[in-house]
Structure 1
C-alpha cells in the first residue's frame, strides 16, 4: 500500500502527523473528521488509498451524513462525495444530504443549484422527483428552477454517468466444516447458486475502513456479524459491542453520530402505543441500522414491556454488550416488523405511530431460537433454520406465504439480504 509522506492538514488548528503507512492510519486513527483533508491529498492519486477512500465513502454514505462532521465539511469535499457512486436506494438520499448541509448555514444557500446538479436526475424515480419538487425548502428557494436543473436519459445535462441505486443480494451462509463457511446467492424461483467457500482467519483486519472486496454481513437483528474477504476467500466473526475494537464501538468512534433527544421517539408498544419522555431501564435486545441511524427494539428490564427507541440518542447503545436474544426485528419503509419470543408478530408504523398484533405462527410448532428474520426487496423473510424453510411476509398484501426451501444438508448460519460488489460476485462464480 502506498505511503503518506507529508502531513495532512485538517484545519487551521489541527494536523495529522506524517505516517509510515496509510494502512495503519486508516486502520487505527481514521475518523470521518479527516475526510476533507484526505480527499484533497488523495484525489490526484491513482492509488490503493484513493480507491479505499472512495469505497469507504460509498458504502458508508448514510452513516456519514448522519454524523457530527459532515455538516462542517467544505463545499469541495461535499461535491466530491456527492459525485461518487454512492450506495443508496434512491437519489432522495443525496437531496437530503444537500438540504441538511445547506440548512446548517444560511450563507450556503448560494450553493444550492450547484449541489443539486450532483443528483443523478436521469435515474431519479418520478415519485422521488415530485417529493423533491414539493419540499417546502425547494418551493421557497427554487420555485421554478428545478425543471431546468433536472434531466432525463435522452437529454442528460448533469453527467449522470450511471445509476448508483444498489440492490441488495439475498445470500445464504452455512457451515461446510468447523472452520469453513459456504455462501450461496438466491437467483429466483427457489434456486440458490453456490458462490464460494471461505476459511476462517482471525487475522483479517477489523478496522472500519477496508478495501472494496472486504464486506461485513450483519444479521440476527444486529447481534451477529461476519467479515468476508471475497478475494482471499477468508472470513472472521466480529465482536459486535462491548470493547473499543468491537464493530459498533468502532462505528461510533469513526462517525460520531449526532444524538438528538428532540428527534428521538421513545414509546411502549406492548398494548397499543404509549409515548414516554422519561428514561427507563432497557435491555439491549437488538440494534438495527436504518438509513444510517441505529434503532432499538427491546424490553424494559423491570416491567418487561416491549419498547421502541428510534433512533438511539446515547453512545451507550453502541458500546454496551447485548442482553438476552428475545426479539427478531427489522425495519422496511419506516415500518418496524417484530417477532417476540412468544412468537407474536407485531407491525409498528414509525410514521403513523400505530401497532398491529397477530399470531400467524400459532399452530406451526416453531421455536424462537430456530428463527432468523431479515428483509429483502421490501418484504420480510423468515428462515426456519432446522427445516431450511423460508417464509415471506408481503408488506403490501400483509400475508405470510412459503417462499421456498434450501435443499442441502449443511447447518445454516443465516439467510440475509446485503450489499455485495457485483464484480466480485461474478469472479466468484467464474472460479466456482
Structure 2
C-alpha cells in the first residue's frame, strides 16, 4: 500500500474491535464528514475511537462499502448506546431531525428524555428545543397519554403542535414509522445475474446492486441480518439475497413460512371467511393468491365467479389450491383490489360484521397501449 492509499485510510476502533475504511467512502456519513472536515485529532492521526453499538457500526460500514446512495438505520441502534448521552446538543438535534426508521415517534421522545435526564440540571433548558423535533401528528393516543404523564414533560410547560399531516408547510409530513420501499428486479440477457434496485416513496433510487446466482446461499429460515427474502411470487419463485456476498438463490417459500405462522399463531383454522360476487360474465379460472397486508397473511380464492377471502391463511389446504394466474391483487386497510387480465379493476370492502365481501366498484381500463402482464399491485397508500 503506497503513502497515498495509507493517507486515505481511516482506522476505527470501536469497543476494542478495529476497522479500516476509505475516508472518501466514510465521508458519506454526515457524522464522519463533520469529524474529518475539522482540524481535530482524529483527522490528523487517521484514527478514531468510538463507543457505538457494534451491530449499527457494521451495518453502516457494509452499506458504505457497497456504495449505497442513502443509509437507513433504525434509531434504536444509535440511541441505545453509552455514546448517545455524551453527544452535544447539536448532534442530538441533528439526529432527531433525520428520517430515521422508528417504530413510533415515542421512540424519539424517549431518546430525548434519556439524554436530558443524564444531566438534567444543565440540559433541561434544551428540552423545548428538542421536543419540537418530535412529529406529534403521527403519535397514537396511547403514546400521547404516556408522554403527558411524564413528570419532566409536564414541568416543561411545552405545548405540542398538532397540524394536518398533509399541510404543505407541516414538519410532520413524513411519517418515520411507516417507511416503504419499492424494489425492481432486472434480468440480464444470457446471464443468471440480476440487478436489484431499491427506490423510496418518491422513486428516488437508493440501491442498484448486481447479484450473482448461487444455490449455496443459506436455506435456513432464521438467517443472518445481511440476508433477506423478496416474496414477490409465492407460487413459483422468490429470492433470498445475501447482500454482503452479493449473491442470491431462487426458492419456493410457502411451506417454511406457513409452518412458522402456524407455530406463532397456534391456529390452523380459516379465520374469517367472507365472499362476494364478481361482475356477471367475468370469466376467471379458479385459483388462489397469498397476500400480505396489515402485518398478516391472508388468502383470496376465486371459484365459480365468486371471490373468497380468508383473513388467516388456511395452512393445511393452501398447497391444494391451484394458483390464480389471471389476476393481480393486494389488500389495503379493509379493502381488496383485484386487477384481471382483461383490464378490469375491482374494489371489494371487507365487512367482517356483516360477514360479507362487498363489491364497491369496478372499472375497465380500456387503454390498449398499457399492458399489465408484469404489473405488481402493492398495499402502499398514495400521498397527496
What TM-score do the two structures reach when normalised by structure 1? 0.45
What TM-score do the two structures reach when normalised by structure 2? 0.49
Bigger Rg over Cα? 2
